Amino acid sequence: MSLLTAIPWPTLLVLTPFLGGLLALRLPDQRARLGVGLVVTGLVLVVSAALAASFLVTHDAPPIEDLSAPLPLVAARWHLGIDELAAPFLPLTALLVVLLLVAAPKRELAGPMIPAILFTEAATIGVYTSLDLACLALFWLASLVPGAYALRESIPAGGKGRAFRAYGVFLVLGALPLAAAVVWIVSARAGSPLPFDLTAPEPALDPASQLPIFFLLAIALLVRKAVVPFHSWLPVLAERGPIAITALLISTHLGAFLASRVMLPLLPEASAEVFPWIADLALASAVYGSLLGLAQTDLRRMLGFVLTSQMGLVLVGVAEANRESLHGALLQMLALGLSSTGLLLCASQLEVRAGTTDVRQLGGAAARFPFLAGASFVLGLASIGFPGSLMFVSEDLLLHGLLGSHPIEAIGLVIVTALNGVTIVRGFFLAFLGTSRRPLGLTVPDLSTRERFVAITLAAVLLATGLTPTPLLLARERVVLALTRGSSTHAVGGH
């Protein structure tokens, strides 16, 4: 245990990719940048996986914390920690970055992209580990800036940058309410020596002042979770954005994390009052996304809407805040992170080979690229909750969690998952099977060894966790119970 406390692990996990990003910025050679990215993130992966494993072994382990003295005047402090809630997301983020660096098409990693990915990784880990709201808000903002910069840099000369506008309007503006909430909390908790502390939220906020803070946080949450009507950035980014940054922004589920780290424990009364409505909104968003997915002809845009829909389901689970739904949502965040990254990679790998992801021009790609087809199909099955995958378990838990309290919504959830399944398999059939509608270059090879490695790793992780999900569930049991109790003891209504 001394090793766990002697070294400031959370700070190291944030600093390592940040310094790696700075180093990569100074390196002119693309290959060297990639090397730095892989080494740095590989280190983060190993360390965070070891730390997360300690929570799998002991279910009541105390959080691993780094603490500094509060800053004068603002009363914020550098307070990072790894607990059961954050632990699995850290190796997940690092794993996704490693896989993206290994398998993303080279043009997707050109220019400032690798430093941007590393900065985003550092900020994302910062959000996961923050136990101080001011820290969390700063990391949240920081997680968006490198993406915006990379996106602007990658827009072709003369291009109108639709993706960039959507990104800027939604994500950056959507982060401002979070900053406003931080300011509001200072006034609401006037007199408290540590107004931003998330570990000991005392004195409790009175219910009247919870609501405005809740609404500000909710806007940040809804934008980040791409809930209708704040969703438009996601399909546009999935269709046109750089694949690695897009995958990282979508797969890390910071919105749902904000709800479970800040909103449920800090604002229990407001949560109990408003989250049921947010659950309905999220389900409506899931239905909307699944419906729009059906109408798409571009695989990447199609994925964008399916992901909008699936992120809505995650939020439904968090907002319902009962034991099964929370377990389901937390597992779904992991499963979706892995499968959506895999599918976005597959789509971009098809794009560099066929020159398009429009299914009207594709068809018959399986004959030319059998591995790409196999990888897309297996990851597609994992993403629609086929038995054996982690998503099957998470959707089953979500469904059980929802049915107890809201049977109609539960049927909505089942229909959404069915429609998303139709969209994904239809996309696969149209792109990979049948006759080819556009000649494919004769010299274009199938997946390379490293790309296969990534696809197989993702499929193996999804299968292994899907067949043995119990350790993951048990490791989360304490935090889930705390969140459930937080909302149920203070329940003032619902509908």
Subset of residues 318 to 357 that bind other proteins, contact rule: CB under 8 A: 323-324, 327, 352-356
Using the rule CB under 8 A, is 284 a contact of other proteins? no
Instruction: Pick the closer one to other proteins by CB: 8 or 434.
Output: 434
Using the rule CB under 8 A, is 84 a contact of other proteins? no
Rounded to the nearest whole angstrom, what is the least distance from the CB of residue 238 to other proteins in the complex?
Answer: 11
Report the site for other proteins in 17-56 (rule: CB under 8 A).
Answer: none
Rounded to the nearest whole angstrom, what is the least distance from the CB of residue 176 to other proteins in the complex?
Answer: 17
Cβ within 8 Å of residue 24, ≥6 positions away: 32, 33, 36, 37, 114, 115, 118
For residue 83 the two structure tokens come to 């607990």
Distances in Å between the Cα of 200 and the Cα atoms of 62, 122, 136, 193, 205 are 14, 25, 16, 12, 12
Piece in contact with other proteins (CB under 8 A), picked from 40-48, 127-135, 191-199, 398-406: 398-406
* Chosen residue from 404, 408, 488, 492 binding other proteins by CB under 8 A: 404
Piece in contact with other proteins (CB under 8 A), picked from 3-11, 61-69, 138-146, 408-416: 408-416
Provide the b/e sequence for 91-102 (b: ≥16 CB within 10 Å): bbbbbbbbbbbb
For residue 139 the two structure tokens come to 């990391």
Are the C-beta atoms of 292 and 229 separated by less than 8 Å?
Answer: no
Using the rule CB under 8 A, is 366 a contact of other proteins? yes
Using the rule CB under 8 A, is 110 a contact of other proteins? yes
Using the rule CB under 8 A, is 464 a contact of other proteins? no
Rounded to the nearest whole angstrom, what is the least distance from the CB of residue 163 to other proteins in the complex?
Answer: 6
- Distance between first and last Cα of the chain: 46
Q: Give the Cα-Cα-Cα angle 124, 127, 130 (nearest 5 degrees).
A: 145
Instruction: Specify the 3-state DSSP secondary structure of 81.
Output: strand
Piece in contact with other proteins (CB under 8 A), picked from 124-132, 271-279, 335-343, 443-451: 443-451
Instruction: Pick the closer one to other proteins by CB: 192 or 232.
Output: 232
Rounded to the nearest whole angstrom, what is the least distance from the CB of residue 147 to other proteins in the complex?
Answer: 11
* Chosen residue from 12, 148, 440, 491 binding other proteins by CB under 8 A: 440
The DSSP 8-state label assigned to residue 331 in this structure reads H
Distances in Å between the Cα of 444 and the Cα atoms of 53, 90, 355 are 42, 36, 11
For residue 249 the two structure tokens come to 């922004």
* Chosen residue from 46, 204, 408, 415 binding other proteins by CB under 8 A: 415
Chain Cα centroid distance, residue 263:
17
Using the rule CB under 8 A, is 60 a contact of other proteins? no
For residue 388 the two structure tokens come to 């054996």
Residue in this structure with the two tokens 């993303």, named with its chain if needed: 104
Are the C-beta atoms of 244 and 117 separated by less than 8 Å?
Answer: yes
* Chosen residue from 56, 67, 172, 433 binding other proteins by CB under 8 A: 433
Using the rule CB under 8 A, is 102 a contact of other proteins? yes
Instruction: Pick the closer one to other proteins by CB: 198 or 366.
Output: 366
Instruction: Pick the closer one to other proteins by CB: 164 or 196.
Output: 164
Report the site for other proteins in 220-259 (rule: CB under 8 A).
Answer: 232, 235-236, 239-243
CA dist 282 and 277 (Å) reads 9
Rounded to the nearest whole angstrom, what is the least distance from the CB of residue 158 to other proteins in the complex?
Answer: 9
Using the rule CB under 8 A, is 295 a contact of other proteins? yes
Are the C-beta atoms of 270 and 210 separated by less than 8 Å?
Answer: yes
Report the site for other proteins in 159-198 (rule: CB under 8 A).
Answer: 159-166, 169
